Amino acid sequence: MQKNNNPLHYMLVPLNKQALEVDMEQNGDPCTGNFKEWSLTETQTCALTNTLFFDFCEKFDIFIDIGEDRILKQEFISEALNMAKEFEQYCTKEYQKDAVKKVVEALEFATSTNMPVWFWF
């Protein structure tokens, strides 16, 4: 069975404090336009689910799971970014590298804006 490679999963970072306040009630709904987003295909998501995302869940007590959305708080972004960059060094397949690159970009943007990251799966 071939995996669906349409963008179905997102990492969202509020564009500013006002966007954060407005969308806290909507749990980071990507349809509002108040977020910068990075999309992941099913293949990319699977490449990270039992590796990097599992480590995030374990380390930061969040649950990134298909069918649920979760927030990685600002206080954990820097450490998560370091974990992602370290993980990136061990990726051997192109789709893994592409997926981790998106995670790193989202975390770097969150760091620069001091905002959380929503995992919209």
CATH number where 80 lies = 3.40.1760.20
> Is 67 in contact with 42 (CB distance < 8 Å)?
no
In a domain, 22, yes or no: yes
Under the banding of pLDDT at 50, 70 and 90, the label for residue 111 is: very high
The tally of domains found in the chain comes to: 1
Establish if 60 belongs to a structural domain: yes
Residue 100 is assigned to a structural domain of this protein: yes
Which residue segment(s) compose the domain that 99 sits in? 9-29+44-120
Distance CA 54, CA 64 (A): 8
DSSP 16: S
Instruction: Identify which has the larger pLDDT, 114 or 31.
Output: 114
Whether 115 shows a pLDDT value over 60: the answer reads yes
| CA nearest neighbour of 58 among 69, 49, 46 | 49
- 26-48 pLDDT per residue, tens: 655 666 677 898 998 888 888 88
The H or E element spanning position 116 is none
* pTM score, whole prediction: 0.83
The DSSP secondary structure of 46-92, one letter per residue, reads: HHHHTTHHHHHHHHHT----TT-EEEE-HHHHHHHHHHHHHHHTT--
Banded pLDDT at 1 (limits 50, 70, 90): very low
Tell me if 2 is assigned to some domain.
no
**Whether residue 2 has pLDDT greater than 60:** no
69 has pLDDT over 80: no
Pick the more confident residue, 24 or 2: 24
Tell me the torsion sign for CA atoms 21, 70, 112, 114: positive
